[in-house]
Amino acid sequence: MREDLLKTLLEVPSVSGDEFSVRKVLNEYMGDYFEENTDSIGDSIYFLDGFGEKRILMTAHIDEIGLLVTGATENGFLKVTNVGGFNAKLYVGHGVKICTASGEVYGSVVVHSNMLKNNEFAASDLLIDIGAKTKEEAFSKVQLGNTVVFDTHVRQLMNDCVSARGLDDKSGVYVVMETLKRMREKQHKATIIGAGTVGEETSQHGAVWVANRVKPTEAIVVDVTYTSDYEGMTNAKWGEVKLGKGPVLCVNPICDRKINQKLMELAKEKGIPYQVEVSGGRSCTDADEIHIVGKGVPVVLVSIPLRYMHSPAEVVDKKDLEHAVELLTAYLENA
């Protein structure tokens, strides 16, 4: 697998609403092979023309959760609010970086014992220490609306695992873009469209913009899903999902059963491991919005098993990413 793309994607902060740096990374990676189509909110779209009538859209979201600077105390500590779903206690005592127009500013989230005891602790209770002594000094370096992410690193773990912030959903972005590149060397009838969408963690508006623009006849959304293979998650809500056991196909009222069945048949035929999760309602991914665009779009959800979602050290198995690419490539060859 092309680890350089995944690593570069993970190193670039991209809190919802501020994803343009990821678009630059994708264009550098894909630009020699595809012409980039963009929009004003930061979606990146790449086309691989076919001669058939099908138009298959593959998407993964490029945004991540984080914080926004909302103010500062008189003695220079930054106030914030959250962007996307998260647990405020995960930030307490953690290093962070603030993304400003002039570069990154580093800080430490204030921690004291009362915070850890407070069960109702929220984003509005967080304060970030950047070393400033006054409000004026803080705002000489930081502006209202600047985004904030965990200050973490991409780490290689044992058994092909990777730990990083933002694997939700840059692991999916990697799968979509790598699949699209491999399909350049394959025979295919369908026009294939690969997109990195913005805003999934907050509004899912990027997926709506993209689907309305490209008018797909069907869509494959690549995101992440919870695993059940560590302490405290033995009875996962949607079933048994483990790292290293392959991508996860979602069976629910939104996901198209015919496409899912074809994916399962191809996986068995090609010897590609896969897993199944079941849910009875919305998928809580971009699939929910793409499904109802225009006259309706048949959609499936292919997920990467992920440990510790929305934490500073999410974990995936690189084998699952490679198997996801192999499965999607097999499907697109036969579409």
pLDDT tens across 281-325, in order? 889 999 999 999 999 999 999 999 999 999 999 999 999 999 999
User: Which residues lie below 8 Å from residue 83, measured CB to CB, with a gap of 6+?
Assistant: 15, 16, 17, 65, 66, 67, 68, 147, 201, 202
How many other CB atoms are there within 10 angstroms of residue 175's CB atom?
30
8-state DSSP, 34: S
Distance CA 144, CA 46 (A): 34
CA of 192: how far to CAs of 24, 104, 249, 334, in Å?
21, 37, 20, 12
212 pLDDT band (50/70/90 cuts)? Answer: very high
Question: Residue 72 pLDDT more than 70?
Answer: yes
122 pLDDT band (50/70/90 cuts)? Answer: confident
For residues 126 and 115, the answer to whether their CB atoms sit within 8 Å is no
Question: Residue 238 pLDDT more than 80?
Answer: no
Span 188-206, average pLDDT: 96
Span 149-162, average pLDDT: 97
The reported pLDDT for the residue numbered 33 is 86
pTM of the model: 0.95
236 pLDDT band (50/70/90 cuts)? Answer: low
How many other CB atoms are there within 10 angstroms of residue 4's CB atom?
9
Question: Residue 1 pLDDT more than 60?
Answer: no
Distance CA 24, CA 149 (A): 19
62 pLDDT band (50/70/90 cuts)? Answer: very high
Please give the helix or strand (H or E) that residue 323 lies within, else none.
Answer: helix 318-334
Taking only Cα atoms into account, the Rg of the chain, rounded to an integer number of angstroms, comes to 20
What is the average pLDDT score of the chain?
94
How many other CB atoms are there within 10 angstroms of residue 87's CB atom?
13
Beta bridge partners of 100: 103
The reported pLDDT for the residue numbered 58 is 98
Span 21-27, average pLDDT: 92
Distance CA 172, CA 170 (A): 5
Order of strands, sheet of 161-164, starting from the edge strand that comes earlier in the sequence: 155-156, 161-164, 314-317
β-pair type (55-61, 218-226):
parallel
Q: Which residue has the higher pLDDT, 283 or 118?
A: 283
How many other CB atoms are there within 10 angstroms of residue 186's CB atom?
12
8-state DSSP, 30: H
User: Cis before residue 160, ω within 30 degrees of 0?
Assistant: no
Report the amino acid identity of residue 41.
I
Distance CA 286, CA 291 (A): 9
Span 63-78, average pLDDT: 97
64 pLDDT band (50/70/90 cuts)? Answer: very high
- List the one residue out of 62, 130, 119 whose CA is nearest residue 97: 130
CA of 264: how far to CAs of 179, 257, 261, in Å?
18, 10, 5
217 pLDDT band (50/70/90 cuts)? Answer: very high
Give me the active site residues, please.
200
Secondary structure class of 219 (helix, strand, coil): strand
Question: Residue 201 pLDDT more than 70?
Answer: yes
Q: Which residues of 290-318 are buried (b: 16+ CB within 10 A; e: fewer)?
A: bbebeeebbbbbbbbbbbbbbbbbbbbbb
For residues 334 and 56, the answer to whether their CB atoms sit within 8 Å is no
The reported pLDDT for the residue numbered 253 is 94
Question: Residue 90 pLDDT more than 80?
Answer: yes
Put residue 142 in one of left, alpha, beta given phi > 0 → left and psi -120 to 50 → alpha.
beta
37 pLDDT band (50/70/90 cuts)? Answer: confident
- List the one residue out of 5, 6, 140, 161 whose CA is nearest residue 72: 140
CA of 269: how far to CAs of 55, 99, 265, 313, 330, in Å?
24, 47, 6, 35, 10
For residues 228 and 242, the answer to whether their CB atoms sit within 8 Å is yes
- List the one residue out of 311, 61, 86 whose CA is nearest residue 200: 61
